[in-house]
Structure 1
Amino acid sequence: MTTGRPTRVRTHRRPRRRTLVVLLALVAAAAAVVGVAVVVVPMLRPAGPRPIFQMPVACGEAWQLSTYPGHDDYDVDFFPIEGDSWGRPVLASYAGTVTVAGINGSLGGRTPDNPEGPRGRGGGYWVKIDHGGRWETQYLHMLEPPLVKVGQRVVQGEQIGRLGSTGNSGAPHLHYEQRRSRDKVETHFDGTPSGITTDEREQILRRVSNNCPAVS
């Protein structure tokens, strides 16, 4: 026979708050890993086949393609062979989605009415188009705000802006780039290399645009 109060057995329980904190930390870590994977994995994938890019100017027109020392490898400047440069249509080289449409650097003050105005910085009004397969094109120094918006789907030959001299530009022209996996590469037009690969010397070429409307 026992006497007195029964001895109460004490159990040790982990506080609920601490458990919740640990769970939240695990969820946050898992989300961070997934987020990194979403960004990094596509970057590690090889680029797809090169699209059949066309010159970013009107069908049948002859243009000068050029570069000069210090311009940077693979960069191409477009100048029309005939007619006024200001305001000429700038066309999408291939179908894709607009990822940038705005101002790169500062505009400066060079206009058709004041062609010797102060230079700006960078690319001025510009557009970047994602063509899929990790291919993209860039169009710089346009005259005025682009005619397209971010997220807009464009077709090959669609007008995206007008040629100008905004940003760090000495004369009205179009600075153009093709990129694969974010790296600049030699531009190809209608399946043919442009031949502009280095800025170690001045190069001036002449090409006729085949950026023509599709025949239905």
Structure 2
Amino acid sequence: MPACYVLALSAAALLPAPDTTIAATPPRQIIKLGIQGFGPGFFALTYERQLSSQWSVLGSVGYLGYSRRSGTIFYDYDGSIIEDNYTTRERYYNTNVQLRRYFRRHTIRPLAGWFAAANLHTYLRNSREQHSRYTNLNYNLSRTTAQVQFLLGRQSSLGRRLTLDSYLGVNLRRRPSASTNRTQGVWIEGGVGLQVGYRFQPLARR
């Protein structure tokens, strides 16, 4: 038995060491920050990861929030003034999953150039209104909406690290129809997006 261990160790010593200098090129990655302007415009944080020389996948989260105050003045039967002040608050939280195809193969400058993409956009809307006098008008509503978007744009390299991602597109969503049978119709709207990105791996020097 000791002879077997000696032979095994000798054979292992004779085997060539693995070549660590040859390694597959890691997938390119970009993190971006900017605006996605479909319906309500969102401030979004996006992560893009290369799948091949022409394909990539993106995921993002976004937020939009605003509040406003207003008031209404009524005149009672005796001529006295009745004032109702109210506050409206809107909060949107969204996520996106996108599959993107670049028109040309890029090995030297990956994740750059003209592209077409399909995007699944989902957002949660929280709406709240509070009245100072007519409290029966108060409401607090939440609704989740999913939409499909088709994009066409260009991602440009601003040096070795920075990128500028811009696109136009259409957004498709279902909405209640005005007909009496309450069927669902498809609403089409346009939008734009603009984000500045940072590459995890810098481009090679020319």
Same fold (TM over 0.5): no
TM-score by length of 1: 0.22
**In proportion to residue count, which structure has more helix?**
1
Q: Which has the higher contact order (CA 8 A, sep 6+)?
A: 1
TM-score by length of 2: 0.22
**In proportion to residue count, which structure has more strand?**
2
